[in-house]
Structure 1
């Protein structure tokens, strides 16, 4: 093998090594591809959660429009509404009195 061939193979090896570096670390390289795949997976999961939340809210809206028992339940839980025939008793805690 002549010196000229050795230099040719060396330059070729160097060029291939630089090409490999560009493929792995370049702007659109393998590392960027991996980062985009992770971001895509996170967006898919977030989209799925939002879809489930939308479905839950759609069902709640349907029940609020059509289900009197559910309306009563929500009024009792969120607003503290009582029926006309109910009485609320509040007892003082003996431990909190001086």
Structure 2
């Protein structure tokens, strides 16, 4: 007897009740599998949506950081090659001075409203005395 001449077992037919039961179980299993694919923690569609949103956010952050990096690279280049800019930064940001140099700081000018308030305060002080 060769492999091609195997005897096949006769197939049993299912009763209509068994067919309905088999169909219900099959549909339930497919529904459970589908729900698992959609809602499974860590691998479902919800997780996929969250990961896509995070990817978009990270891409925006990358673009922003690349722009900031470009500005900083230009600033570094300017500090290395432009002595006037270097001196300006040293004076403004770090308060450095040249030899025999002094800094005089003046209070900002007062606005008209501030002057009126000062006059009113002076008048009140005079009344209290």
The bucket for the TM-score relative to the shorter chain is 0.7 to 0.9
Q: For 1:1-80, list aligned pairs within 5 A.
A: 2-26=16-40, 27-80=42-95
| Count of aligned positions | 98
Q: Could you say what secondary structure the match of 2:21 adopts?
A: helix
Q: TM-score, normalised by structure 1?
A: 0.75
CA RMSD after TM alignment: 3.3
Larger Rg: 1 or 2? 2
Range that drifts further, 64-73 or 77-86: 77-86
Range that drifts further, 78-87 or 27-36: 78-87
> Which has the bigger relative contact order, CA under 8 A and spacing at least 6?
1
Structure 2: runs of 5 or more not aligned: 1-14
